[in-house]
């Protein structure tokens, strides 16, 4: 592949919008007053606007799937360990983060995954290799699947357009012969998970800033960063080793409880990708008067994506719905650990039944 450019990202890749102070906002090709998502918002805008067919993206809590939803793209987060982070990195955020891409079609996602999947010696995680190339799963029979659908959560306010999107996708799956049930992991409602995530993410970011300070030859200070990132970094420096390990224990316990739902007989879970349409530019920008407000606002976009960074399961956002205002709304399918093959088969079945690739945003190459 030929690298043709570097795309915009939020500072440290930390937020669900791409509006860094250094380079300004990346706007959504479907409506330039709207965010393109984050952290891979620059990549998503480039692919959605037809600058390139696909672009690199990473995902530690939704950073592939959030911009895919907001820009009308396919966003596959592979299984933990499917794509090596080597040779320089073993894991990021205690295994929460993974690298891949945003694409416009399932075929491209499958072919690209074939090209980059695999482990390296010394990797801390590894996913079992597929039985055949992923591109051969495109258009392959799915059989009749048992699929749970989440259209609402007691702890998350979901916009009517997003509910409409997931219910429409449920009807599409039903028309394709699959069994649909209103069901999702009860562990989603566990309030303890927020504390575990904060300890791990804050400590990991503090370590990253220490590494950057060494790289540039001087300590990074408050004036070098936006207020939210600086507040999170300071929090991370205060996390003790035992607090960090306690956070890891919370994540591990949560993961077991969530994955038990699949062990109970379900093949897939269908959810909205994010709980609202693309936010307006400026809504998620850090506020010096209220540090953490931007961080909390970003977190409000990821309650349906972040659980699967914790469990390590593969999840994909599909562009199956647009609002009356022409804004894309993604729906998310989640499979059991290691089953990208199943996701690709079902997603390609839905793509064939309800094609999206012919839709172009107002701003396109």
CATH of the domain at 115: 3.90.1300.10
What are residue 329's phi and psi, to 5 degrees? -130, 120
Q: Which residue has the tokens 């590494």?
A: 211
Whole-number pLDDT of residue 159: 96
Angle 22-4-78 from CA coordinates, rounded to 5°? 85
d(CA 180, CA 270): 9
First to last CA, the chain: 20
Among residues 95, 54, 102, which one has the least CA distance to residue 77? 102
Q: What is the pLDDT of residues 199-246, one digit of tens each?
A: 999 999 999 999 999 999 999 999 999 999 999 999 999 999 999 999
Number of Cα atoms under 13 Å in the Cβ half of residue 260: 11
d(CA 58, CA 97): 7
Q: What is the pLDDT of residues 355-365, one digit of tens each?
A: 999 999 999 99
**Is residue 154 pLDDT above 80, yes or no?**
no
What are residue 194's phi and psi, to 5 degrees? -60, -40
d(CA 333, CA 314): 9
Q: Would you mind telling me the total number of residues written for the chain in this entry?
A: 365
**Dihedral angle sign, alpha carbons of residues 72, 75, 301, 202:** negative
pLDDT bin (cut points 50, 70, 90) of residue 352 is very high
Task: Show Cβ contacts of residue 356 under 8 Å, excluding neighbours closer than 6 positions.
Answer: 72, 318, 319, 320
Structural domain includes residue 149: yes
What is the arithmetic mean of pLDDT over 165-175? 98
Whole-number pLDDT of residue 151: 84
What is the arithmetic mean of pLDDT over 331-353? 98
Structural domain includes residue 173: yes
Say if CB 38 and CB 10 are below 8 A apart.
yes
Residue 327 to residues 133, 165, 277, Cα–Cα distance (Å): 34, 12, 7
pLDDT bin (cut points 50, 70, 90) of residue 270 is very high
Number of domains in the chain: 1
What is the arithmetic mean of pLDDT over 62-91? 97
CB atoms closer than 10 angstroms to residue 199: 23
What is the arithmetic mean of pLDDT over 154-165? 92
Taking each helix axis from N to C end, the angle separating 193-216 and 227-238, rounded to the nearest 10 degrees, works out to 100
Structural domain includes residue 242: no
**Is residue 267 pLDDT above 90, yes or no?**
yes
Whole-number pLDDT of residue 1: 78
**Is residue 262 pLDDT above 90, yes or no?**
yes
Q: Which residue has the tokens 């219910």?
A: 167
Structural domain includes residue 258: no
Whole-number pLDDT of residue 89: 93
What is the arithmetic mean of pLDDT over 254-277? 97
> What is the span of the domain harbouring residue 118?
11-187+268-353
Q: What is the mean pLDDT of the chain?
A: 96
Q: What is the pLDDT of residues 275-320, one digit of tens each?
A: 999 999 999 988 888 888 888 889 999 999 999 999 999 999 999 9
Structural domain includes residue 16: yes
Burial of 304 from C-beta contacts in 10 A (0-12 / 13-18 / 19+)? buried
Q: What is the pLDDT of residues 83-135, one digit of tens each?
A: 999 999 999 999 999 999 999 999 999 999 999 999 999 999 999 999 999 99
Whole-number pLDDT of residue 284: 93
Structural domain includes residue 257: no
Whole-number pLDDT of residue 133: 98
Structural domain includes residue 253: no
**DSSP codes of every residue in 258-296:** HHHHHHTT-SEEEEESSSSSPPBTTTTS-BTTBTTHHHH
Taking each helix axis from N to C end, the angle separating 340-353 and 160-175, rounded to the nearest 10 degrees, works out to 90
Whole-number pLDDT of residue 288: 86
Structural domain includes residue 226: no
Whole-number pLDDT of residue 289: 87
Whole-number pLDDT of residue 111: 98
Whole-number pLDDT of residue 291: 83
Would you say the pTM of this structure is higher than 0.95?
A: yes
């Amino acid at each position: 592949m030929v690298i043709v450019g570097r795309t915009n990202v939020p500072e440290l890749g930390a937020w669900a919008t791409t509006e860094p102070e250094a380079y300004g906002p990346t706007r959504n090709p479907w409506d330039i007053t709207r965010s393109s998502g984050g952290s891979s918002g620059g990549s998503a805008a480039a692919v959605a606007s037809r600058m390139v067919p696909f672009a690199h993206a990473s995902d530690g809590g939704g950073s592939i799937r959030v911009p895919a939803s907001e820009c009308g793209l396919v966003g596959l987060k592979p299984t933990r360990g499917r794509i090596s982070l080597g040779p320089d990195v073993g894991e990021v955020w205690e295994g929460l983060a993974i690298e891949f891409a945003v694409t416009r079609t399932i075929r491209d996602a499958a072919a690209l995954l074939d090209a980059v999947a695999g482990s390296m010696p010394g990797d801390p995680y590894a996913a079992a290799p597929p039985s055949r190339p992923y591109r051969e799963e495109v258009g392959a029979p799915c059989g009749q699947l048992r699929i749970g659908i989440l259209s609402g959560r007691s702890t998350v306010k979901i916009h009517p357009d997003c509910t409409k999107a997931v219910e429409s996708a449920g009807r599409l799956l039903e028309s394709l012969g699959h069994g649909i049930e209103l069901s999702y992991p009860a562990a989603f409602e566990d309030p303890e998970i927020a504390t575990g995530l904060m300890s791990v993410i804050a400590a990991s970011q503090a370590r990253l800033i220490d590494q950057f300070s060494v790289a540039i030859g001087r300590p990074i200070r408050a004036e070098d960063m936006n207020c939210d990132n600086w507040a999170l970094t300071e929090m991370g420096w205060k996390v003790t080793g035992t607090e960090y390990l306690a956070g890891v224990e919370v994540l591990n316990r949560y993961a077991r409880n969530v994955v038990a739902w699949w062990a109970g007989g379900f093949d897939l879970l269908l959810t909205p990708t994010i709980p609202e349409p693309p936010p307006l530019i400026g809504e998620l920008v850090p506020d010096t008067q209220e540090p953490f407000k931007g961080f909390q606002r970003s977190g409000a976009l990821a309650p349906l994506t972040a659980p699967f960074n914790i469990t390590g399961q593969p999840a994909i956002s599909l562009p199956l719905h647009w609002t009356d205002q022409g804004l894309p709304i993604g729906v998310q399918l989640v499979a059991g650990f290691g089953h990208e093959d199943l996701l690709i088969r079902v997603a390609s079945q839905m793509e064939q039944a309800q094609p999206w690739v012919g839709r172009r945003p107002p701003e396109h190459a």
